[in-house]
Amino acid sequence: MPTTTRVPQEERTRVMRARLLEATIECLVERGFAGTSTTLVSERAGVSRGAQLHHFPTKNDLVVAAVEHLTEKRGVELVAAADALPDGPRHTRAVLDMLADHFTGAVFAAALELWVAARTDASLLAAVEPLEQRIGRETHRLTVELLGLDESMPGNRELAQATLDLVRGLGLADTITDDSRRRAAILDRWADVLDKELG
Amino acid sequence: MPTTTRVPQEERTRVMRARLLEATIECLVERGFAGTSTTLVSERAGVSRGAQLHHFPTKNDLVVAAVEHLTEKRGVELVAAADALPDGPRHTRAVLDMLADHFTGAVFAAALELWVAARTDASLLAAVEPLEQRIGRETHRLTVELLGLDESMPGNRELAQATLDLVRGLGLADTITDDSRRRAAILDRWADVLDKELG
């Protein structure tokens, strides 16, 4: 008697949720928050409306879960990529490149759509605010770790924060024009400053 | 015979246009790009639909003109306020405060709505891209002037750009939460760095 290989229900659910969340990010990136709908997402993900509504009853549930899921996934990728960073004089600059990539990719564009929509939508804001705070804390911790920064030294914490605000600003500057050349020159200069200030 | 004081037509037109553009910014700030309509703006400005459509035939005309008009007005205010800046050791920090205020106010929120909407709207993008470039150049020139920065010195241009990207990132961080305490500590640290780097 042949054994039928069955994918366990739990695994199928996990895959379906991931497909829905990836499709949501794609919709946010291509069409913006206003142009994203639960119908479009379920079509794109190839998931039935019923199944989608079971897991994510509203558009807000879907978009918040999508940005959370993809940010966590990108965070794990960042940590993994950190092992490949060069040691020595080029280390700081390489960290800045990693962070800038993080803030100019699709997940940043999707998150930006969400933050901006939340500014004028109280129910979305209630879900986005704690998510933004958690993402902020995790990205800060990651930056401190990547730069090998000693936060007990006065002023170092603020430099890590300034670095993240800088790359966030660079991300915003890149949303409607390709800003890569200007960005590279600014990050060169910023790496010099960080290396000097952090000793 | 009493002389009737009549406001010349040109002046009345100027006042009406300014009212429409101020109302547009208010709408963008309160309701976002998706929630802004030409009907809402004409109601709020107390201007007839016909007059409004005569001056700004489409929503895109209105929102682009509004961000342009208010950015120029804020730029003029910044230049005027620059005269009141303290000389000496507190100068750089005061400049940073001025710039940060510029990037956390209503005009920034309205511009952010416009940039983000333009990301996924080709016809809006065509109007926003040249406006963003002009605003970028003018803000850069103003920053160089306020900081008294010599751009012929290597690396100084990039420091001015980094300063603007930093305050833009701080502006974004402030859109959904009050970030003023964190921002103040970061700007203190950045003023130290700038003073050291610019000699």
pLDDT tens across the length of chain A (199 residues):
555 567 788 999 999 999 999 999 999 999 999 999 999 999 999 999 999 999 999 999 999 999 999 888 888 888 888 888 888 889 999 999 999 998 998 989 999 999 999 999 999 999 999 999 988 999 999 999 999 999 999 999 999 999 999 999 999 999 988 999 999 999 999 999 999 998 7
Å between B158 CA and nearest CA of chain A: 5
- Distance in angstroms (rounded) separating the CA atoms of residues B74 and B80: 10
- Are B128 and A176 an interchain contact pair (Cβ–Cβ within 8 Å)? yes
Q: Which residue among A132, A158, A171 sits closest to B186, beta carbon to beta carbon?
A: A158
Residue B127's closest chain A neighbor by CA? A176
Question: What burial letters (b/e) apply to A139-149, b meaning 16+ CB within 10 Å?
Answer: bbebbbebbeb
Residue A158's closest chain B neighbor by CA? B186
Which is the CATH superfamily of the domain at B9-197?
Tetracycline Repressor, domain 2 (1.10.357.10)
- Are B166 and A164 an interchain contact pair (Cβ–Cβ within 8 Å)? no
- Distance in angstroms (rounded) separating the CA atoms of residues B112 and B114: 5
- Are A176 and B125 an interchain contact pair (Cβ–Cβ within 8 Å)? yes
- Distance in angstroms (rounded) separating the CA atoms of residues B42 and A6: 62
List, in order, residues 6 or more apart from B130 with CB less than 8 Å away: none
Cβ pair A176, B119 in contact under 8 A: yes
Q: Counting beta carbons within 10 angstroms of the beta carbon of residue A57, is it exposed (0 to 12), middle (13 to 18) or buried (19 or more)?
A: exposed
- Distance in angstroms (rounded) separating the CA atoms of residues B18 and B15: 5
Å between A31 CA and nearest CA of chain B: 6
Q: Which residues of B touch A31 (CB under 8 A)?
A: 120
- Distance in angstroms (rounded) separating the CA atoms of residues A71 and A111: 9
Which tens digits make up the pLDDT trace of B22-59? 999 999 999 999 999 999 999 999 999 999 999 999 99
Q: Is the Cα torsion angle B163, B118, B44, B20 positive or negative in sign?
A: positive
Å between A83 CA and nearest CA of chain B: 28
- Distance in angstroms (rounded) separating the CA atoms of residues B4 and B9: 15
CB pairs under 8 A between A and B: 124
Q: Which residue among A115, A161, A171 sits closest to B186, beta carbon to beta carbon?
A: A161
